[in-house]
Structure 1
Amino acid sequence: MLIMKKKELRQRQIHRLQEFAKKDRKVEEDILLQNKFLANSLLEGVKTIGVTCPLNFEIDNQIIIEQARREGIKTYLAKSYPDKRMDFVYFDEQTQLKKSNFGILEVANPIEINNQLDLLLVPGLAFSKASHDRLGFGGGYYDRFLAEHNCKTVSLVNSVMLFDTPAWPIEETDRQVGELIALTK
């Protein structure tokens, strides 16, 4: 497989995902992936879960968040900082959100931070089925966070994000995802 520079592949993947988001299939795959996640018993024994509010071309995770809350699992939303650090901030249905500089919804007034999560839903642009390597947005937020915090990781991977093997260079600082919930090609 041809190895592309990360920056080039990121741009390509964002474009592909934005085009895919215009299709009904995207909503169908999001629902299938969330249901597959829930059928996989990944929330069993989990007391805390870290999530993001996805951009329109990323995979929706609302069904998972709602189920986690029904099961009494505390949900924490990613919050990034200019120094490329990231925390997870408690949020519920009443929490006010605001757009970050990246256009991502974050908690407006963080009160409770918890970085010792039981489970973390890790976003990305591309994932390798063989090695569970992930291509993120390029800031290194999740790689840094995962290097410092030990938690179970899982990613939802639609048909546009899934690669058999990495089509991008893997660096020493890149962190693999523990489990991929993917739709087979």
Structure 2
Amino acid sequence: MKKIDLRKKQIESLKEFADENQKKIEDKKLLDKFMSTNLWKNSQSIGITSSLPIEVDTSELIARLWDEGKDVYLARANNDPNHTQDFLEYTYMTKLKKSKFGVDEVANPDAKINNELDLIVVPGLAFALDSHARLGFGGGYYDRFLKKYPTKTIALANSRMVFEHAQWPVENFDVPIQTIITPTKIYK
């Protein structure tokens, strides 16, 4: 299946799932599994996105990271033709604004940037358990970023995002995710 077709299918499936109680249950399981790993415990600077309703909810995760004294950096897509992104310092005092993608980003253009992170929680629409391939939203922001700034990566994947094998073409510029957490298991 072409990436564009699977993206459309996944977005519809995830929109449906967003309204189900099962999603809330799985989001909680994913958060608990994440907090049980050494990945976050051994990381001080953590990059993350403010989630859309169709994604695994990251708001509680961000709050827990702050409670644990971690430095949290929120992804910001840059307005450039190369589809680059940066991670900006995010505290509970930070003002946010909606990006062109509808995602909350740090509003202060002069906020501290840190692209040399210990860990990045990478969003996506689909994850292949065998290859750790990821199907993103189609901009290539994370693949470009991870090529330039390689670091530890982790994804939180609910049951609608999990595929045994990639149902989409995996290309040489696609960066696999190192660790995928599902509601039932952690794949390394």
TM-score range, shorter chain: over 0.9
The answer for the alignment partner of 2:19 in structure 1 is 22
- Partner of 1:42, secondary structure, is helix
Matched, 1:34 2:31: yes
- Partner of 1:50, secondary structure, is strand
Question: How far apart are residue 5 of structure 1 and its match?
Answer: 0.1
Distance in 2, Cα, partners of 1:155 & 1:10: 17
1:112-169 per-residue CA deviation (whole Å, 9 max, x = no partner) reads 0000000000000000011100000000000000000021000000000000000000
Distance in 1, Cα, partners of 2:154 & 2:22: 22
Matched, 1:69 2:80: no
Structure 1 vs Structure 2 CA RMSD: 1.1
1:56-91 per-residue CA deviation (whole Å, 9 max, x = no partner) reads 010012232122212211000000013211000001
Q: Percent identity?
A: 47
Distance in 1, Cα, partners of 2:37 & 2:68: 15
Matched, 1:43 2:40: yes
The answer for the alignment partner of 1:155 in structure 2 is 155
Distance in 1, Cα, partners of 2:115 & 2:171: 24
1:153 partner letter: T
2:21 partner letter: D
Say whether the 8 Å CA contact 2:45–2:118 is kept in structure 1: yes
The answer for the alignment partner of 1:175 in structure 2 is 175
The answer for the alignment partner of 2:90 in structure 1 is 91
1:170 partner letter: V
Question: How far apart are residue 107 of structure 1 and its match?
Answer: 0.5
- Partner of 1:43, secondary structure, is helix
Say whether the 8 Å CA contact 2:51–2:59 is kept in structure 1: no
Aligned length: 182
- Partner of 2:66, secondary structure, is helix
Distance in 2, Cα, partners of 1:143 & 1:46: 21
1:24-60 per-residue CA deviation (whole Å, 9 max, x = no partner) reads 1011110110001111232122110001000001001
The answer for the alignment partner of 1:109 in structure 2 is 108
2:69 partner letter: G
After TM superposition, the runs of 4+ consecutive aligned structure 1 residues lying more than 6 A away are: none
- Partner of 2:40, secondary structure, is coil
Distance in 1, Cα, partners of 2:96 & 2:63: 17
- Partner of 1:124, secondary structure, is coil
Distance in 2, Cα, partners of 1:54 & 1:70: 19
The answer for the alignment partner of 2:99 in structure 1 is 100
**Long gaps (5+) in structure 2:** none
Distance in 2, Cα, partners of 1:71 & 1:105: 22
Distance in 2, Cα, partners of 1:184 & 1:129: 12
**Long gaps (5+) in structure 1:** none
